[in-house]
């Protein structure tokens, strides 16, 4: 497993080769040998607390699937986190609607989109995976299924998020901002006319060498009712292939969906790209297709391969990700970025 310092050095070297158009010096997947050390990584600074919860399972030789579900429960239940779960900023109609998906080491997956009133959409997604013949349930059907499975119906709109929404209604301007995620922990500083969006995407490798991933969000704030982002879309917001590795994304979901971002990152790793090189190439696809759009938006990818190597890359500065392994449970790494 690479250390943080080594990771940063490898990242800059790899960046040069991607920019030059040469095939980068990636890992050879045939050389992929798992060291037996679990690791969990997740997007943004709130990933530190989420990783800590996941680590309690991983360190006791638990399954990566249980670790990622437990880990993302932390931001989902946090009323001060206005971009995931309870306390998430609502859509333009004032409704908090949640998107989430989960994927295990066997390629099983489950997803919910536009789910209202349930604090832990990730657990509903897992039930979809395990209890139904389907992959995805949406809206009223997802809620009906969750209630049938014993989930409790709750009001997810906190007073702080309701206040922000009412402020926003005064102008109702659609103006997604870059990295407002970083201000979410100071809600008092968040004017009501700001949009924000972000996601916790988590990838874990357990002591048995198996990988799972989870991705959960309240989506873009003040979105159109019914809008679905990348986070519940298998292949866009999350993808795991237990032979190769996994990837997840954060940022403007529409651009991730258009490029099937997380699947692309995993397929690039299959071709020999290292995680950071693969994330960079996925970002570059977005930038090359829509350079003017890309100047104004944020998208970040995060990847973990079967060796326990990890990497991230974003369009804009400001993306960070949390890493937790046996050496350090609280690493927060600033992602390299195009701008």
Q: Mask: binding to ligand GLY, 251-290, rule CB under 6 A, as x and -?
A: xxx-------------------------------------
Q: In terms of CB distance, is 199 or 309 closer to ligand GLY?
A: 199
SS (H, E, C) the chain: CCCHHHHHHHHHHHHHHHHCCCCCCCCCHHHCCCCCCCEEEEECCCHHHHHHHHHHHHCCCCCHHHHHHHHHHHHHHCCCCCCCCCCCCCCCCCCCCEEEEEECCCCCEEEEEEECCCCCHHHHHHHHHHHCCCCEEEHHHHHHHHHHCCCCCCCCCCHHHHHHHHHHHCCCCCCECCCHHHHCCCHHHCCCCCECCCCEEEEEECCCCCEEEEEEECCCCCCCCCCCCCCCCECCCEEEECCCEEEEEEECHHHHHHCCHHHHHHHHHHCCCCHHHHHHHHHHHHHHHCHHHHHHCCEEEEEEECCCCEEEEECCCCCEEEEEECCCCCEEEECCECC
Size of the site for ligand GLY (CB under 6 A): 12
State in angstroms the smallest separation of the CB of 249 from ligand GLY: 6
Does 42 bind ligand GLY (CB under 6 A)? Our answer is no
Q: Site residues for ligand GLY, window 194-253 (CB under 6 A)?
A: 197, 199, 217, 219-220, 229-231, 250-253
Q: In terms of CB distance, is 57 or 236 closer to ligand GLY?
A: 236
State in angstroms the smallest separation of the CB of 88 from ligand GLY: 10
Q: Mask: binding to ligand GLY, 124-163, rule CB under 6 A, as x and -?
A: ----------------------------------------
Q: In terms of CB distance, is 187 or 251 closer to ligand GLY?
A: 251
State in angstroms the smallest separation of the CB of 315 from ligand GLY: 13
Q: Which residues are catalytic?
A: 199
Q: In terms of CB distance, is 73 or 197 closer to ligand GLY?
A: 197
Q: In terms of CB distance, is 100 or 109 closer to ligand GLY?
A: 100
- Return residues touching ligand GLY (CB under 6 A): 197, 199, 217, 219-220, 229-231, 250-253
């Amino acid at each position: 497993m690479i250390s943080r310092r080594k990771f940063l050095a490898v990242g800059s070297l790899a960046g040069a080769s991607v920019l030059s158009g040469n095939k980068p010096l990636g890992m050879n997947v045939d050389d992929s040998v798992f060291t037996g050390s679990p690791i969990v990584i997740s997007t943004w600074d709130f990933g530190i607390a989420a990783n800590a919860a996941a680590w309690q399972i991983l360190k006791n030789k638990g399954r990566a699937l249980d670790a990622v579900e437990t880990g993302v429960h932390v931001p989902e239940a946090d009323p001060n986190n206005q971009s995931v779960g309870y306390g998430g900023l609502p859509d333009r109609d004032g409704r908090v609607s949640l998107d989430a998906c989960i994927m295990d080491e066997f390629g099983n997956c489950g997803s919910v989109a536009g789910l209202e009133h349930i604090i832990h959409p990730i657990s509903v997604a897992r039930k979809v995976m395990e209890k139904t013949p389907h992959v995805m349930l949406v809206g009223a059907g997802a809620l009906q299924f969750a209630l049938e499975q014993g989930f409790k119906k709750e009001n997810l709109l906190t007073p702080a998020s309701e206040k922000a929404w009412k402020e926003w209604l005064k102008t109702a301007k659609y103006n997604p901002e870059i990295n407002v995620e970083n201000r979410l922990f100071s809600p008092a500083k968040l004017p009501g006319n700001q949009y924000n969006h972000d996601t916790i995407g988590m990838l874990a490798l357990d002591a048995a060498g198996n990988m799972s991933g989870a991705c959960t969000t309240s989506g873009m704030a003040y979105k159109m009712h019914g809008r679905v982002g990348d986070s519940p879309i298998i292949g866009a917001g999350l993808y795991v292939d237990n032979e190769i590795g996994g990837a997840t994304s954060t940022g403007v979901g529409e651009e991730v969906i258009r490029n099937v971002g997380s699947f692309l990152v995993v397929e690039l790793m299959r071709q020999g790209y290292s995680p950071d090189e693969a994330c960079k190439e996925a970002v570059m696809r977005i930038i090359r297709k829509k350079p003017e759009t890309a100047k104004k938006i944020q998208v970040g990818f995060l990847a973990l391969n079967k060796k326990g190597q990890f990497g991230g890359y974003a369009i804009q500065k400001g993306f960070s990700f949390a890493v937790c392994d046996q050496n350090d449970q609280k690493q927060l790494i600033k992602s390299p970025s195009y701008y």
